[in-house]
Structure formats: structure tokens, C-alpha cells
């Protein structure tokens, strides 16, 4: 009996010691001063900063190319860069993340692919099938980036199969248009290939992606290969084969060039966004806010009581400096009501359905609205947000459910996959479930990814 009492006493003492050590450790983490890393590659910054990351970080630009003004103009139009948006910055502007040589290089690569496949009879071509994930406007477009990059690498024609939700139900067609060079229906194939196109070997879209020998598959003699699940845009820089091609031809901006060329917003969505943006008083800047919610406790928010004060803080901070108009997109009707109640006539919105993943048609008007703004504040972990920012070519500020404030990304192409711990209810959100180290010859690939594309 005495032994049992002694054991219980020791166990209680041990529990108290463990608790005190844990509390001390937590306190130390919060109280220790934040130090900005000494990195000679980063530009000099002025202190104090709200965050150490409040600087733009980009890889060195590639060598300059010889090109004419006419070729540059053709390239910008061909690549479908968002010249209509307030956020658009011409490549000759120092604020641009890409150089004009990069624009021309991307154009030459993609135009070369178009010209090459157009000279091959349909029955003799090799194909890359992009089978879209069922839900998520952003999920479809981010998968396009990887799929089309692999088609470019292997000189394959692209066939896209898709479906999407509308207010009236699911439609087995495409939510948005593609370039004329892309096949959008199996009926466009020779009849004897239509059945074969349904059975293709696909690249893995889970943690196996990092080390998968992509070139072995896409450069093989198989007539049909493809992708059949969600694969985030930045993952093109994680696999050694795709990363090499992307870096050589697009720098860090594969999503910007490939995404704008391949996945188009319908003209109607852009027109509707422009109509809403035209309501802003002349001379006033428009701040675009995408506030993804879905449901409390899920990927984006613990609840209104935590998310909305952070939203208000950032908006109020900006309004204290400048008289702004707010272009707001959200998947939640209550957030719409709260923003209008607080900011009144400053708020501009489309008539999109305020329900998550229920209507891709109106959702694209929201995407175009935020892309069309002067600056963008977006939701971390949301592919919807990330696609908008990556298409803009301008870095954004992000709201994240565990962060006490909005924070800026390093550039417009980063922050596509979460580096912040999150309960594993959806493996796609975590870098630990997406990125795997594959040996010494993979090190350079991952260093580039972590240097420029993480946060």
C-alpha cells in the first residue's frame, strides 16, 4: 500500500514538472526576439517590419534575349496575360516580377509546341490527358499547370475532361475555355482512339510525386498518359524532371505563364468583373479581398469570431493610410453581410452564389473581380486564392487561420502549399504530405523550391 502511495506521489510530481517545463518552453517561444536572417541575397529592408518576410524575394532573372517590340506585343497577347486588370504590371516596369525576355521566352516555348503538334495527324499524336478533380474551381486550374507543363515537355497534345457544379446541378462540360490547340472532348479524337483515351497511365498526385520518374512516363511510347487528381501548381518545382523544364523556360513563374495561357476566364466573367470595378469612384484604388471560409474549424477559419477581427484589422490599417474601395469575394453569406455592415458603400461585389464549391460559373466572376483590383488580400491554403494571385504576377497578403495578422508572400508564385501545421483531415494541404527528399541529385530542386516558392 505504501509503495502505491509513493508511486502516485512521484507520478504527480513528474506531471507537475512536465507541465512547468512545457509552459516555460511555450513562454520562451513567444518572448524570444524575432531575428531577421542575414541573407546577402535579400535586398536591404527598412526596420521596423511587421514581419521579417515583408520583402519581395525572386530568383535572378535569366539572360536577356533579342526580340522586337512586335514580338513582345504578340507574346503578351498570345499568353493571355491579364492586361485588363488594375493589378497588371508591364514587364518593362521595375515593379514587374518577370522581365520582357522571360515573357518572350515563354511565348516561344508554348508557340513552338503549338506549331509542332499541329503538323502531326491526330491518329499519330501522343496525348496527355488532364482529368479534372471533381470539386473546386482553383483545384482544376492548379492541376492544369502541372498537366500542361508535362504536355509541353513531351510534345503531347492535351485532352481535358471535366465537370463542374452550377446553380442547377453538375454539368459534364468545361467551366472555362482553353486555347484552340487543346482538345476538350473525346469526340475530337479519331474514333478508334476514343475508347483507348479512357485508359491511361497517370502520374501520382500524392507524396510519390516528388521522386516519380516523370520523364520515363511522358517520353515513353505510350500514346495516352495523364493526370487524374489534384496536383498543386507549385509542385511543378518539386519533381526533378518538371522542375528542370519549368526553371529553364519560365523561371519561377510557370504558374503565371502556363496558367494564364492555358486556363482562361470566360469573357462574360471578365466583363462582369469590369462592370463592378467600374463602380469605384475615379482615382480611388481598389483592394481585392478573397475571404474563404467554407465552414468553421475547417481549412481556412476557426470561426467568425477569430477571422473577422483579423480581416477588419488589415482593412482598417489600409484605410487609415488611403481612401480605398473594397472588392470582396467570399463563399459565405454572413461574411458578405458583415463586410457591408462595417464598410457600407465601399464594398463592391458580384452576384456570385455565396456557397462553397456550388457554382463555378459565378465563382469565376469573383476570381476576375479580385484579379482586377489594384492590390490583393487572399486566403492561405485556398487554391481559388492562389490561382488569382499567381495569374496576377503581383504578390499578395494572406490570412491564415493560425496567424494573428495578414502576412505578405515572397512573390506571386509562392504560398501555394501550406508550410503551417494543420490537422490531417486533408493531406493535400501540407507540404509534409507533398514534398519528399529523393537523394543528392534532388537537393538543388528542393533548395530552389524552398528559397523562392514556399511562403
Question: Is the per-residue pLDDT at 32 higher than 50?
Answer: no
Q: Which of 99, 196, 214 is nearest to 146 (CA)?
A: 214
d(CA 196, CA 129): 11
Q: What is the pTM of this model?
A: 0.86
How many domains are contained in the chain? Answer: 1
Confidence tier at 165 by pLDDT (50, 70, 90): confident
Q: Could you tell me if residue 113 is inside a domain? A: yes
**Residue 232, all three cell numbers:** 498543386
Average the pLDDT over 327-346 and give the result: 96
State which residues form the domain around 220. 69-262
Q: Which residues contact 360 (CB under 8 A, 6 or more apart)?
A: 137, 164, 165, 166, 175, 176
Strand-pair partners of 201: 225
Q: Which of 255, 251, 228 is nearest to 105 (CA)?
A: 251
For 404, which DSSP code? Answer: S
Strand-pair partners of 348: 327
**Residue 331, all three cell numbers:** 463563399
Q: Could you tell me if residue 391 is inside a domain? A: no
d(CA 334, CA 336): 5
Confidence tier at 280 by pLDDT (50, 70, 90): very high
Question: Is the per-residue pLDDT at 393 higher than 60?
Answer: yes
Q: Could you tell me if residue 246 is inside a domain? A: yes
User: Which of 55-64, 320-329, 439-448 is least confident?
Assistant: 55-64
d(CA 435, CA 422): 16
Q: Could you tell me if residue 162 is inside a domain? A: yes
pLDDT computed for residue 229 by the predictor: 92
Average the pLDDT over 432-452 and give the result: 91
Question: Is the per-residue pLDDT at 315 higher than 80?
Answer: yes
SS3 assignment, position 70:
helix
Q: Could you tell me if residue 189 is inside a domain? A: yes
Strand-pair partners of 398: 378, 407
Q: Could you tell me if residue 390 is inside a domain? A: no
Instruction: Look up cell 524570444; give the residue.
Output: 32
Q: Could you tell me if residue 235 is inside a domain? A: yes
Percent of the chain with pLDDT over 90: 69
Q: Could you tell me if residue 231 is inside a domain? A: yes
d(CA 379, CA 399): 5
Percent of the chain with pLDDT over 70: 83
Amino acid at each position: 500500500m505504501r509503495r502505491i502511495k509513493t508511486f502516485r506521489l512521484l507520478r504527480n510530481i513528474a506531471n507537475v514538472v512536465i507541465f512547468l517545463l512545457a509552459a516555460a518552453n511555450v513562454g520562451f517561444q513567444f518572448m524570444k526576439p524575432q531575428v531577421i536572417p542575414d541573407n546577402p541575397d535579400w535586398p536591404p529592408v527598412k526596420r521596423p517590419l511587421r514581419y521579417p518576410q515583408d520583402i519581395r524575394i525572386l530568383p535572378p532573372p535569366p539572360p536577356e534575349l533579342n526580340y522586337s517590340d512586335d514580338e513582345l506585343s504578340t507574346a503578351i497577347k498570345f499568353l493571355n496575360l491579364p492586361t485588363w486588370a488594375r493589378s497588371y504590371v508591364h514587364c518593362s516596369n521595375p515593379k514587374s516580377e518577370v522581365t520582357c525576355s522571360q515573357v518572350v521566352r515563354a511565348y516561344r516555348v508554348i508557340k513552338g509546341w503549338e506549331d509542332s503538334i499541329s503538323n502531326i495527324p491526330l491518329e499519330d499524336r501522343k496525348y496527355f490527358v488532364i482529368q479534372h478533380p471533381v470539386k473546386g474551381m482553383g483545384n482544376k486550374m492548379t492541376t492544369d499547370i502541372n498537366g500542361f507543363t508535362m504536355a509541353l515537355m513531351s510534345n503531347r497534345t492535351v485532352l481535358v475532361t471535366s465537370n463542374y457544379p452550377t446553380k442547377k446541378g453538375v454539368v459534364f462540360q468545361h467551366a472555362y475555355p482553353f486555347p484552340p490547340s487543346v482538345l476538350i472532348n473525346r469526340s475530337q479524337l479519331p474514333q478508334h482512339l476514343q475508347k483507348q483515351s479512357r485508359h491511361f497511365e497517370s502520374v501520382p498526385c500524392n507524396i510519390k510525386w516528388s521522386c516519380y520518374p516523370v520523364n520515363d512516363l511522358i517520353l515513353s511510347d505510350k500514346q495516352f498518359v495523364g493526370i487524374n487528381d489534384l496536383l498543386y501548381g507549385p509542385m511543378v518545382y518539386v519533381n526533378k524532371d518538371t522542375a528542370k523544364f519549368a526553371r529553364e523556360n519560365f523561371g519561377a513563374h510557370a504558374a503565371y505563364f502556363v496558367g494564364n495561357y492555358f486556363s482562361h476566364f470566360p469573357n462574360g466573367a471578365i466583363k462582369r468583373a469590369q462592370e463592378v470595378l467600374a463602380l469605384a469612384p475615379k482615382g480611388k484604388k481598389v483592394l481585392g479581398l478573397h475571404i474563404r471560409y467554407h465552414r468553421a474549424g475547417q481549412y481556412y477559419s476557426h470561426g467568425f469570431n477569430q477571422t473577422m477581427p483579423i480581416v477588419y484589422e488589415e482593412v482598417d490599417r489600409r484605410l487609415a493610410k488611403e481612401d480605398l474601395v473594397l472588392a470582396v469575394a467570399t463563399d459565405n453569406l454572413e461574411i458578405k453581410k458583415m463586410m457591408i455592415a462595417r464598410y457600407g458603400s465601399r464594398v463592391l461585389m458580384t452576384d456570385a452564389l455565396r456557397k462553397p464549391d456550388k457554382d463555378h460559373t459565378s465563382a469565376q466572376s469573383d476570381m476576375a473581380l479580385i484579379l482586377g483590383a489594384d492590390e490583393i488580400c487572399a486566403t492561405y491554403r485556398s487554391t481559388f486564392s492562389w490561382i488569382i494571385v499567381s495569374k496576377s504576377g503581383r504578390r499578395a497578403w494572406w490570412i491564415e487561420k493560425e496567424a494573428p495578422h495578414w502576412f505578405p508572400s515572397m512573390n506571386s508564385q509562392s504560398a501555394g502549399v501550406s508550410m503551417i501545421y494543420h490537422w490531417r483531415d486533408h493531406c493535400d494541404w501540407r507540404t509534409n504530405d507533398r514534398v519528399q527528399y529523393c537523394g543528392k541529385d534532388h537537393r538543388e530542386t528542393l533548395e530552389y523550391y524552398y528559397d523562392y516558392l514556399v511562403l
